[in-house]
Amino acid sequence: MPFELVIFLAMVGVFAAGCFAAKLPVSLSMLLAACAGLLVSGNGLPVRHLVEGTFGYVDTILVIATAMVFMRTVQESGALEALNAVILRRFRTVPALLLPLLMLVAMFPGMITGSSSASVLTAGAVVAPVLILLGLPAPVTGAFIAMAGILGMIAPPVNIPAMIIGGGIDMPYVGFEVPLALLTFPLAVLFSLWFGLPHVKVVEWEVLAAKLDLETYKKYGIRLFLPILVVAVLMVLGKTLPQVFGMGLPVVFLIGAALGLVVGKRFNILSASKAAVNDALPVLGILAGVGMFIQVMTLTGVRGFVVVSALSVPPALLYAAIAVSIPLFGAVSAFGASSVLGVPFLLALLGRDQIVTAAALSLIASLGDFMPPTALSAIFAAQVVGESKYSRVLVKLVVPSLVIIGWALAFIVFSKQIRALY
């Protein structure tokens, strides 16, 4: 048995024991697993590696924390409920149109920022109450917006996993718009109807009105939506005029949060911010723990063992290896899976159309955001819909994830034919 496998088993064993036997938080279990890897590999306990590993997620942590603060202010100001009322009043009678529309709305922040968390925590949080009022159960609603998160992350114009994979072979992020659109938008329509149609019902406005807060909108009017509008505009400007508006998502969210303070109902910003960060803390902790885990995997050679093992399969099983290993490695991070496995697999598929193949690999990598323990998209979706166990959301995503893998693999197999279409 290779020594790297021994180290890996020790790390996984300590992680499982921490989570399930000692009932420790996932983040602490990851920390202990990283320490176990260091000790078993004979590296001692170099604190520098543990700290350095966490730095890989500093930017992500800031985005998540500020997005949570922004959404809390939108909620507390009354804007969220008012927006739900407006959407339902206009579109409740045409669910077959409303569902794909809501899916696109929920995808939008991910399309602009490349972050599934940004999608789920912002537009996802706007769309979720509407879906629940339309009759979708909370876990299904969670699955709907979690799916929107990853499809938004992959849809054009911004797809960071594709940029990472392309960057690994010096392929510029040029010409990806069409294959990414072909990969994601049909799936977006399909899954919006998949999750929504079995549950959605046309409800009389009077019935809905009784459940909605209509007073806040009457009192403050359209200015309630100013924070959401400003954040959306700044996200777009950050993409189109980055030299002027490239201020970064955390600042954009903080500007939105500041506006939320003055446009609607008054609330205590300190309490709201504290509650928002408190909600995000478990995930932020997991990210820090995962950072340490990856650092130790790389340091000890476990990462190389995993990657070379995935590449060692016979050519006939290469697609199976892609389908299994990339989402599994995504458990540590979708972006990490793109870099560590996406690049070698793209190199192993050099005979295919490179752009279509990289785009398809990025779609498979995005499934890492459904993979425990990080499962960013699913965890935040569960939080947004008030579902205490995110596993209930994850269950609804299993079959759609298999459809995504099949769809992406078909794009790889027929990459040249797809390229010839446009």
Site string for other proteins, 55-74 (x = CB under 8 A): xx-xx--x------------
Tell the smallest beta-carbon distance from residue 175 to other proteins (Å).
10
299 sits near other proteins (criterion: CB under 8 A): yes
Nearer to other proteins, 59 or 215 (CB): 59
181 sits near other proteins (criterion: CB under 8 A): no
Residue 284: closest CA among 376, 366, 368: 376
207 sits near other proteins (criterion: CB under 8 A): no
How many Å apart are CA 285 and CA 39, to the nearest integer?
22
What token pair was written down for 178? 């069409």
Half-sphere exposure of 347 (CA within 13 A, CB side): 12
Nearer to other proteins, 371 or 394 (CB): 371
Site string for other proteins, 310-349 (x = CB under 8 A): -xx-----------------------x--xx--xx--xx-
Tell the smallest beta-carbon distance from residue 363 to other proteins (Å).
17
Q: Stretches 108-116, 222-230, 269-277, 399-407: which one binds other proteins (CB under 8 A)?
A: 108-116
What token pair was written down for 105? 């709305």
Q: Stretches 85-93, 164-172, 200-208, 254-262: which one binds other proteins (CB under 8 A)?
A: 164-172
Size of the site for other proteins (CB under 8 A): 61
Tell which one of 104, 154, 249, 361 touches other proteins (CB under 8 A). Answer: 249
Backbone angles phi, psi at 45, to 5 degrees: -130, 70
Name the 3-class secondary structure at 136. Answer: coil
Tell which one of 246, 271, 398, 422 touches other proteins (CB under 8 A). Answer: 246
**Which amino acid is present at 140?**
V
The distance of Cα 309 from the centroid of its chain, to the nearest Å, equals 27
The residue length of the chain stands at 422
Site string for other proteins, 254-293 (x = CB under 8 A): -------------------------------------x--
Nearer to other proteins, 64 or 133 (CB): 64
Nearer to other proteins, 128 or 302 (CB): 302
Using only the alpha carbons of the chain, give its radius of gyration.
22
| Contact predicate 357/349, CB 8 Å | yes
164 sits near other proteins (criterion: CB under 8 A): yes
3-state SS, 176-193, equals CHHHHHHHHHHHHHHHHH
How many Å apart are CA 101 and CA 207, to the nearest integer?
23
Site string for other proteins, 22-51 (x = CB under 8 A): -------------------x-----xxxxx
Site string for other proteins, 131-160 (x = CB under 8 A): ---------------------------x-x
Residue 201: closest CA among 106, 88, 125, 84: 88
The distance of Cα 249 from the centroid of its chain, to the nearest Å, equals 15
CA geometry: angle 215, 221, 226, nearest 5 deg: 125
Longest distance between any two alpha carbons in the chain, whole Å: 70
Residue 379: closest CA among 282, 300, 310: 282
Question: Which chain residues interact with other proteins by CB under 8 A?
Answer: 4, 41, 47-56, 58-59, 62, 113-115, 158, 160, 163-164, 167-170, 172-174, 238-239, 242-243, 246, 248-250, 291, 294-301, 303-305, 307-308, 311-312, 336, 339-340, 343-344, 347-348, 350
